[in-house]
Structure formats: C-alpha cells, structure tokens
C-alpha cells in the first residue's frame, strides 16, 4: 500500500507539473506573442528550453518552502505525508486545469500552497501560519511590484527612445529584446514554479530534491507542449493590445520581480507578476486601453484559487476513508 501511495504521489505531482506548464507558459512569453514579435510555435520552444533550465539549476530554492515550510511533511508519519502529497497535488492540479480551460492565468503557487495548508488542517498537523502570512503578503506585493516596475520601465523608454530613434528602429530593437527578456522570464518562472509540482514529493521523502526538480521540469515541459497555447492568448492580447516596446517592458519588469522572490525562497505567482506588469504598462497609455472585464475575471480567479484548492484537499483527506 505504501508503494502504491508513493507511485500515486509521483503521478499526481506530474499532473501538477503538466497543469503548470499549460497555464503558466503564457507568463513567460505571452506578451511577445501578443506583440507579434514571435510566433506561437517559436514561443513554445523558447519557454520549454529556458523553463527547464531554470527549474534544473535554481528550482531547489523554493522546493524547500513548499515541501517543508508550510507543513513539516518530513516530520509526519510517512503514510500520512504521502497521503497529504497525493491530495494536495490532485487538488492543485484540478483547479489549475479548470482555470486553464477557461483561459484564465492563475497562480499555481497559490493553488499548491492552499492545497498543502488545507490538507494539513484536515489531518490536524500544525500549519506554519506565520510562513503563510509572509507568503500572502508577497502575493499581494507581487502584482503591485510588477505594475510599478512595468510602468516605470515603459514610461522611461517611451520618453527617451522616441526622441532619438524612429518608430521602425524602436520596433526592431524591441523585438530582439522581447525575445531575450522572454528567455529570462522563462528561466525565472521554471526556477520558482517547479516546486509547486514536486515540492511535496520531496518534503515527504518520496523523491530526492534533485530528482524532484527533474521530474517536475519534465512534467512542466509536457504541459507547455500540449495546452500551453490557451492562456498565452489571454496574457498576450486579452488585457491590452501590445507593441514590442510594451511587451519588453512588461516581460523584463515581471522577470526582475520574480527573480527577487526566487532567491529569497518565496513561492510567488509569475501569473500575478506578468499580469501586474502588463497592467502597469497599459496604464502609461491610459486606463481606457485596458480590458477591465478580463482584468476583473482574472482577479476573481486569483482570490478563489488558494481557497478552492485548499477546500478540495481538506475534503479529500477528511472524508475519504481510503486516505
């Protein structure tokens, strides 16, 4: 039975990785596609390569927080820890898959953190509410930081470049920079989000930290290649019509934002970061340029995410005798 639970936990984590790739690929390169700097197929290749590299080389930072920081899974009875890993992974995956079908860019970080906390409450183990509180504060600051940085970068570029370069030259330069910043964003995304896929497996002792990162990275890659195009449409064109200079500003601002939290070991939302950055860039041209209906739907899904996945995880562990 223990072996079966371990296998189910790995399968559930792979499913989460798939859902991350499907939903969050847009965070890295959606703005580049929206600005027509690159084609969708080119974007998928870029985000697959650099997302994997980020997960492999820097994914260990946040994996520790997801696996042990919210609920001390390494201190639990092994069977209980594995059951929690299965339920948390399934719960997070279910909600992210639904949101991806709706083409809503939500946070897999929020979904997994909520699922782990809900599962911990169900089995009566201590939940590190202080850690959750710090993560929640960062969740609020992430889109705000992305918006502020994006606004500043785009405003500075808009005020300076148009005085020294032609519009055609600006677009050529920014097209190159959009691709480069997309590579950087994909790297930081892979580094921060791979923990959401297999952090619980690492915390429960089912996989070693390095093996957890590799399995999670491959699962994310599969998600990108299958459903990654869905949310790219929303991020790239749903909120505001982007030109290359706007796309670069949003991507670079979002990447800087996420990189800071990754080095601190804090699981934040690349979705929040890039949506905030796109919003901030759009504000430079005026709020009327933004599709506020789409923004409203995205925010509603953001708020619901940790609670929905947490409730699913809680109910699974609390009321299903098998677990």
- pLDDT, tens digit, for every residue of 249-289? 988 898 888 888 777 777 677 778 888 998 999 898 887 77
Q: Is the pLDDT of residue 66 over 60?
A: no
Using one digit for the tens of pLDDT, what is the confidence trace for 173-215?
Answer: 988 988 888 888 788 777 777 766 776 677 767 777 778 778 8
DSSP state of 265: T
Task: Please report which confidence band the pLDDT of residue 65 belongs to, taking 50, 70 and 90 as the band edges.
Answer: low
Taking the C-alpha atoms of residue 200 and residue 209, their distance in angstroms, rounded to an integer, is 10
Contact 262, 150 (CB under 8 A): no
pLDDT, tens digit, 9 for 90 and up, residues 123-173: 888 888 887 887 788 778 899 999 999 999 999 998 898 788 888 898 889
Distance CA 267, CA 78 (A): 25
Average pLDDT over the chain, rounded to whole?
81
- Mean pLDDT score, 74-82: 77
Rg over alpha carbons for the chain, rounded to the nearest Å, is: 19
Token digits of residue 91: 């719960």
> Predicted confidence band at 31 (pLDDT cuts at 50, 70, 90)?
confident
């Amino acid at each position: 039975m223990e072996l079966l639970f371990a296998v189910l936990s790995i399968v559930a984590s792979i499913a989460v990785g798939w859902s991350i790739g499907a939903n969050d690929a847009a965070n890295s390169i959606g703005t580049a596609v929206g600005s027509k700097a690159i084609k969708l197929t080119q974007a998928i290749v870029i985000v697959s390569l650099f997302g994997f590299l980020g997960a492999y080389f820097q994914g260990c930072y946040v994996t520790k927080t997801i696996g042990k920081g919210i609920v001390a899974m390494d201190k639990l009875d092994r069977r209980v820890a594995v059951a929690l890993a299965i339920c948390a992974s399934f719960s997070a995956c279910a909600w992210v898959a639904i949101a991806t079908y709706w083409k809503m860019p939500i946070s897999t970080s929020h979904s997994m953190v909520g699922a782990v906390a809900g599962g911990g409450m169900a089995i009566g183990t201590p939940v590190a509410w202080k850690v959750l509180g710090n993560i929640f504060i960062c969740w609020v600051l992430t889109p705000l930081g992305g918006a502020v940085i994006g606004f500043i970068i785009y405003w500075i570029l808009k005020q300076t470049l148009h005085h020294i370069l032609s519009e055609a030259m600006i677009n050529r330069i920014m097209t190159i920079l959009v691709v480069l910043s997309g590579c950087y964003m994909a790297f930081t995304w892979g580094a921060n989000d791979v923990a959401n896929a297999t952090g619980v497996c690492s915390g429960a002792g089912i996989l070693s930290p390095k093996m957890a990162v590799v399995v999670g990275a491959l699962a994310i890659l599969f998600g990108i290649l299958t459903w990654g195009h869905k949310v790219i449409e929303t991020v790239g064109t749903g909120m505001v019509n982007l030109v290359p200079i706007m796309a670069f500003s949003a991507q670079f601002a979002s990447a800087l934002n996420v990189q800071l939290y990754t080095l601190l070991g804090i699981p934040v939302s690349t979705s929040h970061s890039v949506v905030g950055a796109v919003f901030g860039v759009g504000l430079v041209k005026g709020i009327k340029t933004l599709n506020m209906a789409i923004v409203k739907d995205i925010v509603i899904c953001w708020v619901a995410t940790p609670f929905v996945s947490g409730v699913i995880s809680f109910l699974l562990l609390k009321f299903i005798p098998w677990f």
